[in-house]
Structure 1
Amino acid sequence: MKSTGLRIYGKEDLRVEEFELPKIKDDEILATVVSDTMCMSSWKLAKEGEDHKKTPNDLKHNPALIGHEFAGTILKVGKKWQAKFTVGEDYVVQPNLARDDTPFVPGYSYPYIGGDATAIVIPNEVMELNCLIPFHGQAYYEGSLCEPLSCVIAAFDAQFHLIPHTYNHKMGIKKDGNLLLLGGTGPMGLLAIDYAIHADVKPKTLVVTDINQEKLDRAKKLYPSDEVKMIFVNVNNLSIEEQKKLLLNAVDNEGYDDVFSLISVSPIVTLAGELLRADGCLNQFAGPVNKDFKATLNFYDVHYNFTHVAGTSGGNAENEAKAAEIIATGKLNVAKVITHVLGLNAAAETTLNQPEIGGGKKLTYPTKKFDRIELAKVDPQTELGKILAKHDGLWSPEAEKWILKNKPDITE
C-alpha cells in the first residue's frame, strides 16, 4: 500500500513524498491518519536533525516520518492483536513509549509511523506498551489533542507536597492552593488552564502570566471559572523584582504552592523558585533547547522551607487514556487551542516556521491538500467562515467534516 507523508532527512530537510508501506506482520496494525496537531518539539526535531536524541543516525538514507499528535482509523489488524483491536475503530497513539532499551518513538524515529502521513504501520511495541488507545470523541482533531493534554496531566500528577507531620508526599497539585503558570497563554498553557479549572483537584487561585496582552485577554475570555479565582498578569517590560512583587501581591503575599514554568529562561526559572511558599513545588514544564540550561535555586529554602522541583517530558499511556476519556466526554473543549489548519502540502513550511507564525496549535489534515488557514482571518461570508461563526470562531466537528469533504486529496 502506498502512503504520502512528511519525512525528515536531516536538519531543516523535510520532504512530502509518496512511499510504499511494507505488508504488515502478524503483530502490526495498518491505519489511516486523519489529523495531526503540531508541537514545538517537531520544530526542535527539524532544527536538530540527526543531533536529536530520538532520531536514527543516518536520516539521509533512512528518513523518519514526523508528527506525534495524531488520530485516525484502523484499516487492518495483525493476528496477534485481533482480539483487542478491530477494523474501523478510531484510535490515538501515546508516542512516549518509555522504553529502557531505546529512545526511538513514533513521530521522530520510525520510517512507517508518524502523524504527517496518509497511512501508517503501527509496530508491535506500541500495542505491547498499551500506547494504542481507542478514541470515541466527536472529531479526529480532538484525538490529536489527547497527546498534548496527556503532557499536562503528567505534569500535574508529578507535583508533590508533604503530608503534614511526615516526610511522605501526596502527589498532584495542592488542593485549594495557589497555582502559577509562567508564560501560560501558549497552546500548552491554555490546556493547563483548562485542566486546572476542570480537574477533580482544583487550586483556589490560578495566576497566568504573559507579555502579550492580546493573548492574556483571549485566555481570560476562553476560560472563565466560577470555582477558581482567575488572575491574568501582563509582565511585559517589568524587571524580575517588579514581577516578583506583582505576582506575590496577586495572592496576598502568600506565595505559590505550585509553579509551572512554561518558558525556559534562566531568570524566570529562578524567579519561580523565589515565589514558592513552604512546601511549594516548581515544575519546569518547558523543554529547554540548550542542553546546558541552568538556573539558580535557593537551597536555604530547599532545606528549611521544603521547596522542591519536578519535571516531566511528555505523558505516558495512562495519561493518554485519561486525556482521551476527558476529551471524549466533552469535559474540556480542546478546540480552543487551535488557531490554524492546513493540508499536508503545507506541513513542512509550517513545522519549520512555528515560532514566526505564532498563535496556538496548527492542525494538519494529512490526507488533504490546502494552504494554511488562520482561523481568525477566515472571511465570515464564506462557507467555512459561517461554520466558524456558529462556534464562536472555534474549530469544531462541523468544520472538520467540511474540510474533509471539500478540500482536495493530497494525492490529486
Structure 2
Amino acid sequence: MKTKAVRIYGKEDLRLEEFDLPELNDDEILMEIVSDSVCMSTYKEALQGENHQRVNKDIKERPVIVGHECAGIIRKVGKKWKDQYKENETYTIQPALNIEGSMASVGYSFEYCGGDATFIVVPDIVMEKGCLLPFDSGNGFFQASLAEPMSCIIGAFHSMYHGERGVYQHEMGIVKGGKSALLACCGPMGLGAIGYMLNCVRRPGLLVVTDIDEDRLKRAQTLFSEDYAKERGVELHYVNTAKEENEVETLRALTGGTGFDDVSVYAPVRQVIETADKILGFDGCLNFFAGPVDPELSAMFNFFNVHYKMTHIVGSSGGNTEDMKECLRMSGEGILNPAVMVTHVGGMDAVIDTTLNLPKIPGGKKLIYVGIDMELTAIDEFEEKGRTDERFQTLANITQKNNGLWCAEAENYLLDNF
C-alpha cells in the first residue's frame, strides 16, 4: 500500500513524498485520511524539528508524518481489533496519547501515523489508549478534524475551578449561571469558545466578549447574536476595548460591580492578562488559554486578592479524550458548529507552504483535504476565483447560503469535483 504524505526531516524541512507503508500487523489499523486542519503546534514542530519535545531525535533517518487534526475511514483492521473496529467506518484520532514517561503523540512521533497523509497505519497504542474515536460523517469529515482544537477549548473550561472559604475541595468547571468574560476572543479559537460557552451544559448567565478589532467583533456578532444568546438564557455583550478609556471599569460595570467568576485570556499579551486579573470577582478563576511563544512572558497579578478574595489562575494546553468525545457528540447533534473557526481550504499540495507560513496567513483555521490538489484558498475568495473556475463559484454559492461558513455540502462538492 502506497501513501502520499508530508514528512518532517529536520528544522523547516518538510517534504511531500509518496512511499510504501509496511505490512499491517495484527495489532494495527489501516486508515484512509480525508481531512486534516493545520495547527499552530505543527508550525512550531516544523520550526524546531528534532528539538521539539514531542519529535524523535532520528527524524533525518526516520522521518515522521506531520498533522494531528485528522479524520478518515478505516480500510483494514488487524486481528486484535476486529471485534471493536469495523472497516469503512469513520474515525478521528485524539493525538495526545498520554503515555507514561513519554511525550509521544500522533503527528509528531510516528513514522506512519499523522494527519497529512492519504493512508496511515494506526499503531496499537492509539487503540489501547482509547484514542481512535468514531464520528458521524453526515455532518462532514471537517467537523471531526476540528474536534481536536475544539477539545482544547472545552478542556480549558473544564480545567477552571472554584471553592468555598474554609472548604478544601474544588468544584471543577466554570460557574453555571455565573458571570464569564472571554478576552481578546474573536479569533478562530475564540469563536469556537463563544459557540461552546453559549451551548454547553454549564453555560453562564452573563458572557462578555472583547477584542480590539472591530471587524472581528462584528463577525462574531453575526455568528452569535445577542438574541441567539438570549434564547439560550445568556446575556451577551461585545466590547471593543480599544475604544474604552478605562476598560476595567467598563467590564466590571457589566457585572454590576461584582467582577467575573470566570475570565479566559485568548491572547498572550501582558495587558490583557493584567486586565483579566483586575476584573475577577470573589473566587474568580483566570484561565490563560493563549499559547505564548516568548518563554519569558510574565504579568502582574494581585496577590492581595489571591489571599483575601480567593482569586486564582490556571493554564491549559490541549484537551483529553473525554473533551474530544464531548465535542463530537455536540457537533454530531448539531448543538456546536466548529466551522466558525475555518477561513481557508486547500489540498495536499498546500500543506508545506501553509504550515511553514502559518503565522503570516490571516484568518482562522486552514482546512486540508489530503486526497486532492488545490492551492490554499480563503472562503471569501471563492467568488473571485469563480470568475475563471466555475467550481469555485459553486463553492461560493454553497458557503454564502450558509452564512459564509464551510459545511458538509461544500465538502462533498469539493471531494467530488477537485
Q: Residue 88 of structure 1 aligns to which amino acid in structure 2?
A: N
Q: Cα deviation per residue 1:196-246 (whole Å; 9 max; x = unaligned)?
A: 00011111111112121101100011012112111112223768xx33223
Q: Residue 124 of structure 2 aligns to which amino acid in structure 1?
A: N
Q: Equivalent residue of 1:5, what SS?
A: strand
Alpha-carbon distance in 2 for matches of 1:43, 1:88: 31
Alpha-carbon distance in 1 for matches of 2:327, 2:64: 27
Displacement of 1:389 after TM fit?
A: 2.4
- Which range is displaced more, 371-380 or 144-153? 371-380
Q: Equivalent residue of 1:170, what SS?
A: strand
Corresponding residue number in structure 2 for 1:133 = 133
Q: Cα deviation per residue 1:67-104 (whole Å; 9 max; x = unaligned)?
A: 11110000111111111100001001111111222101
Alpha-carbon distance in 2 for matches of 1:60, 1:233: 49
Q: Cα deviation per residue 1:346-389 (whole Å; 9 max; x = unaligned)?
A: 11111122222111111100111011111112117622222222
Alpha-carbon distance in 1 for matches of 2:131, 2:356: 27
Q: Residue 260 of structure 1 aligns to which amino acid in structure 2?
A: S
Q: Equivalent residue of 2:242, what SS?
A: coil
Displacement of 1:124 after TM fit?
A: 0.8
Displacement of 1:270 after TM fit?
A: 2.6
Q: Equivalent residue of 1:99, what SS?
A: coil
> Contact between 1:8 and 1:64, CA under 8 Å: does it hold in 2?
yes
> Contact between 1:129 and 1:317, CA under 8 Å: does it hold in 2?
no
TM-score (ref. length: structure 2): 0.93
Q: Cα deviation per residue 1:122-155 (whole Å; 9 max; x = unaligned)?
A: 1111111111011114210011011111111111
Unaligned runs of 5+ in 2: 387-392
Q: Equivalent residue of 2:46, what SS?
A: helix
Alpha-carbon distance in 1 for matches of 2:258, 2:68: 40
Q: Cα deviation per residue 1:319-371 (whole Å; 9 max; x = unaligned)?
A: 11111111111111221221110001011111122222111111100111011
Q: Cα deviation per residue 1:249-299 (whole Å; 9 max; x = unaligned)?
A: 333332111111111123322322222111001111112223333222222
> Contact between 1:342 and 1:372, CA under 8 Å: does it hold in 2?
yes
Q: Residue 232 of structure 1 aligns to which amino acid in structure 2?
A: Y
Q: Does 1:370 align with 2:371?
A: no
Corresponding residue number in structure 2 for 1:59 = 59
Q: Does 1:234 align with 2:240?
A: yes
Alpha-carbon distance in 2 for matches of 1:105, 1:61: 19
Displacement of 1:156 after TM fit?
A: 0.9
- Which range is displaced more, 341-350 or 381-390? 381-390
Count of matched residue positions in the alignment of Structure 1 and Structure 2: 405
Q: Residue 325 of structure 2 aligns to which amino acid in structure 1?
A: A
Unaligned runs of 5+ in 1: 408-412
Alpha-carbon distance in 2 for matches of 1:38, 1:252: 41
Q: Residue 398 of structure 2 aligns to which amino acid in structure 1?
A: I
Corresponding residue number in structure 1 for 2:276 = 272
Matches within 5 A, 1:324-363: 324-363=328-367
Corresponding residue number in structure 2 for 1:173 = 174
Cα RMSD (Å): 1.6
Q: Does 1:160 align with 2:171?
A: no
Q: Does 1:395 align with 2:399?
A: no
Alpha-carbon distance in 1 for matches of 2:309, 2:413: 55
Alpha-carbon distance in 1 for matches of 2:274, 2:403: 39
Q: Aligned in 2, Cα 1:177/1:5: closer, same or farther, shift over 3 Å?
A: same
Alpha-carbon distance in 2 for matches of 1:276, 1:99: 36
Corresponding residue number in structure 1 for 2:201 = 200
Corresponding residue number in structure 1 for 2:397 = 386
Matches within 5 A, 1:3-402: 3-138=3-138, 139-163=140-164, 166-224=167-225, 225-226=229-230, 227-236=233-242, 242-379=246-383, 382-402=393-413
Q: Residue 231 of structure 1 aligns to which amino acid in structure 2?
A: H
> Contact between 1:135 and 1:328, CA under 8 Å: does it hold in 2?
yes
Alpha-carbon distance in 2 for matches of 1:25, 1:243: 59
Alpha-carbon distance in 2 for matches of 1:165, 1:77: 54
Displacement of 1:20 after TM fit?
A: 1.5
Alpha-carbon distance in 2 for matches of 1:371, 1:34: 16
Alpha-carbon distance in 1 for matches of 2:363, 2:193: 16
- Which range is displaced more, 111-120 or 286-295? 286-295
Q: Residue 203 of structure 1 aligns to which amino acid in structure 2?
A: P
Corresponding residue number in structure 1 for 2:390 = none
Corresponding residue number in structure 1 for 2:389 = none
> Contact between 1:270 and 1:295, CA under 8 Å: does it hold in 2?
yes
Q: Residue 402 of structure 1 aligns to which amino acid in structure 2?
A: Y
Q: Residue 194 of structure 1 aligns to which amino acid in structure 2?
A: G
TM-score (ref. length: structure 1): 0.94
Q: Residue 294 of structure 2 aligns to which amino acid in structure 1?
A: N
Alpha-carbon distance in 2 for matches of 1:403, 1:359: 21
Q: Cα deviation per residue 1:20-60 (whole Å; 9 max; x = unaligned)?
A: 11112111111011001122111222222222111111322
> Contact between 2:184 and 2:272, CA under 8 Å: does it hold in 1?
no
Q: Equivalent residue of 1:107, what SS?
A: coil
Alpha-carbon distance in 2 for matches of 1:365, 1:396: 14
Q: Residue 109 of structure 1 aligns to which amino acid in structure 2?
A: S
Displacement of 1:163 after TM fit?
A: 4.2
Q: Aligned in 2, Cα 1:302/1:164: closer, same or farther, shift over 3 Å?
A: closer
> Contact between 2:327 and 2:336, CA under 8 Å: does it hold in 1?
no
- Which range is displaced more, 115-124 or 43-52? 43-52
Q: Equivalent residue of 2:76, what SS?
A: strand
Q: Residue 271 of structure 1 aligns to which amino acid in structure 2?
A: T
Displacement of 1:164 after TM fit?
A: 6.6
Alpha-carbon distance in 1 for matches of 2:43, 2:118: 21
Alpha-carbon distance in 2 for matches of 1:155, 1:58: 33
